[in-house]
A and B are shown apart, each in its own frame.
Chain A
Amino acid sequence: AQSVTQLDSQVPVFEEAPVELRCNYSSSVSVYLFWYVQYPNQGLQLLLKYLSGSTLVKGINGFEAEFNKSQTSFHLRKPSVHISDTAEYFCAVTLLGIQGAQKLVFGQGTRLTINP
């Protein structure tokens, strides 16, 4: 079975500082990897996804993530954060090609707090 571990439940950083949110996954089969963001009282919005190809994936709002197969990691980074990045971030995996069925397995989330 697949599982996702987000190594930090909370990450406080100062505005304009860089940030890395860590995500490790376990799976016996190939997976697709996603990062979602959830702002207060809202649903989830996709930041970026890794399906195949280049291991460095660029997403919206200046975020990027690097897929590392040997370390089974998919860490999210941003070189300079803004107050508006304050939100909860979720790493997720989904199975490849099981009759096309979709099932996202999420990590527990990382609450990113940006301080002025």
Chain B
Amino acid sequence: KAGVTQTPRYLIKTRGQQVTLSCSPISGHRSVSWYQQTPGQGLQFLFEYFSETQRNKGNFPGRFSGRQFSNSRSEMNVSTLELGDSALYLCASSLGTSVHEQYFGPGTRLTVT
């Protein structure tokens, strides 16, 4: 089975711009979660989608949003980028309950200048 894929792998944006990141889960997985990883704050949960519905949300401002499509692929969007949004954004997929392992993609490295 193919793993979780994320595109693009690297991205450079300017403050004030917006960005869309994409995640394709493992075939058959209906849950997709997003995490932000920074040296200062570590790994922080952004949100989780299951069957096109946001089921869980972390403590991030409304500039961070996401969606999930009927094929379980997910996108996250960050509007009005700030320097502090520079991070590794990780996507994880799973079958969808707490007992199930989350499989992580390689991440998208976003740099905001």
Q: Taking beta carbons and an 8 Å cutoff, which residues of A are in contact with B? A: 32, 34, 36, 41-46, 49, 51, 90, 92, 94-109
Number of interchain pairs (Cβ within 8 Å): 74
Known contacts A44-B90, A49-B101, A106-B42; A100 and B106 CB within 8 A of each other: no
Residues of chain A with a CB closer than 8 A to B100's CB: 102
Residue of A nearest to B42 (CB): A108
Produce 1/0 per residue, B31-64, CB < 8 A to A.
1010100000011110010100001101000000
Residues of chain B with a CB closer than 8 A to A94's CB: 98
Interface of B is mostly: strand
Residues of chain B with a CB closer than 8 A to A108's CB: 42
Q: Taking beta carbons and an 8 Å cutoff, which residues of B are in contact with A? A: 4, 31, 33, 35, 42-45, 48, 50, 55-56, 58, 90, 92, 94, 96-107
Residues of chain B with a CB closer than 8 A to A109's CB: 42-43
For the complex, give the distance between the alpha carbons of A51 and B50 in Å.
22
For the complex, give the distance between the alpha carbons of A51 and B97 in Å.
12
Q: B99–A105 contact, CB under 8 A?
A: no
Residues of chain A with a CB closer than 8 A to B103's CB: 46
Interface centre among A46, A97, A104, A109 (most CB of B within 10 A): A104
Contact of A104 among B4, B97, B102, B107 (CB under 8 A): B102
Interface centre among A95, A102, A108 (most CB of B within 10 A): A102
Chain A min CB distance to B77 (Å): 20
Residues of chain A with a CB closer than 8 A to B42's CB: 106-109
Q: B45–A32 contact, CB under 8 A?
A: no
